[in-house]
């Protein structure tokens, strides 16, 4: 277990109990961090439940609601978390929209809007605003959840493109912020039993994943908790010399 006592983490996309954001918030709290829990307005009941669970670890929880596709909402969200806790040490850019699932030649311009504004611009604005306070603190960690789907999933061009853009942002921010004490890395989930992965593959996969796995684990999906473990490692002091890196979690079937 890493020691994150005294740290504050802002985790976006925590509105689904089966998702990576939820698992990450729980693991960070378990390891000692206080959590700013982000969810969309329609996920208020879920984020409230998560906040209760975080408090059960003896950690402080603060729920923030924002549409990450709106820059003003993102800026307000980060400011609210900062005002509540007084600092932000860890940002996990996990929230994402899947976007339309259809062949590339059927895509039109507006098909890009919601996913691009949330997955790319929204994540960047989160990082920009969090980095400002991290620089003032002299340290901080930004972890972007990208995609380990290689080759790109068919009919998911918009989603895959937004995640590729976020990876590029990761590299650029790492180069710019490293001299100022801020580490920036990415975690790339492959085959993970999560809502987005299930949607990409046309439905729920491998419902027995939590039973004993065969020796050849690559035939099974990773759990959201596996991704959370990688994120928490990158957020910890054990990874203090790691920046501008991608950690892949899970294999393709």
- Domain containing residue 193: CATH number: 3.40.50.720
pLDDT above 90 covers a percentage of the chain that reads 77
Q: Which two tokens stand for residue 134?
A: 């991290």
Which pLDDT score, from 0 to 100, does residue 197 have? 57
Distances (CA, A) of 12 to 42, 74, 154, 195, 207: 14, 10, 26, 15, 26
Average pLDDT (58-63) is 98
- The count of structural domains within the chain is 1
Residue 3 lies in a domain: no
**Helix segments in the chain, DSSP class H:** 20-30, 44-56, 71-85, 113-115, 123-137, 157-177, 195-200, 224-235
Residue 122 lies in a domain: yes
CB 109 within 8 A of CB 131: no
**Interval 155-191: pLDDT, tens:** 889 999 999 999 999 999 999 999 999 999 999 998 8
Which pLDDT score, from 0 to 100, does residue 173 have? 99
**Interval 130-150: pLDDT, tens:** 999 999 999 999 999 999 875
Task: Read off the pTM.
Answer: 0.90
User: Mean pLDDT lowest for which of 97-101, 123-127, 188-192?
Assistant: 188-192
**Interval 210-235: pLDDT, tens:** 443 444 445 568 899 999 999 999 99
Residue 67 lies in a domain: yes
Residue 221: name the closest of 244, 242, 200 by CA: 200
Q: Which two tokens stand for residue 140?
A: 């901080």
Examine the pLDDT at 125 and tell me if it is beyond 80. yes
Examine the pLDDT at 13 and tell me if it is beyond 80. yes
Query: Which residues carry out catalysis?
Result: 159, 163
Residue 78 lies in a domain: yes
Residue 2 lies in a domain: no
CB 21 within 8 A of CB 43: no
Average pLDDT over all residues of the chain: 90
Range of the domain at 199: 8-249
Q: How confident is the model at residue 1 (pLDDT cuts 50, 70, 90)?
A: low
Residue 155 lies in a domain: yes
Residue 39 lies in a domain: yes
- Determine the Cα–Cα distance for residues 178 and 9; give it in Å rounded to an integer: 19
Residue 1 lies in a domain: no
**Interval 69-93: pLDDT, tens:** 999 999 999 999 999 999 999 999 9
Tally the C-alpha atoms within 13 A of residue 80's C-alpha that lie toward its C-beta.
Answer: 17
């Amino acid at each position: 277990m890493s020691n994150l006592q005294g740290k504050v983490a802002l985790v976006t996309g925590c509105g689904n109990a089966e998702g990576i954001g939820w698992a990450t918030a729980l693991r960070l709290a378990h390891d000692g961090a206080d959590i700013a829990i982000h969810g969309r307005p329609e996920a208020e009941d879920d984020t409230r439940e998560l906040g209760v669970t975080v408090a059960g670890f003896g950690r402080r929880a603060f729920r923030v609601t924002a549409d990450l596709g709106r820059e003003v909402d993102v800026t307000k969200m980060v400011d609210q978390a900062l005002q509540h806790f007084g600092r932000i040490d860890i940002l996990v850019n996990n929230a994402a929209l899947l976007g339309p699932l259809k062949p590339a030649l059927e895509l039109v311009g507006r098909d890009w809007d919601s996913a691009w504004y949330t997955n790319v611009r929204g994540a960047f604005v989160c990082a920009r605003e969090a980095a400002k306070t991290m620089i003032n603190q002299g340290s901080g960690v930004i972890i972007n959840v990208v995609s380990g789907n290689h080759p790109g999933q068919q009919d998911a061009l918009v989603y895959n493109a937004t995640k590729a853009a976020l990876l590029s942002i990761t590299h650029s921010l790492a180069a710019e912020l490293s001299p100022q004490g801020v580490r920036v890395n990415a975690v790339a989930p492959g085959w993970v039993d999560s809502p987005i992965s299930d949607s990409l593959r046309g439905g729920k996969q491998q419902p027995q994943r939590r039973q004993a796995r065969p020796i050849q684990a690559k035939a099974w999906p990773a759990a959201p908790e596996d991704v959370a473990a990688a994120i928490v490692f990158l957020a910890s002091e054990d990874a203090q010399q790691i920046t501008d890196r991608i950690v892949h979690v899970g294999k393709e079937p």
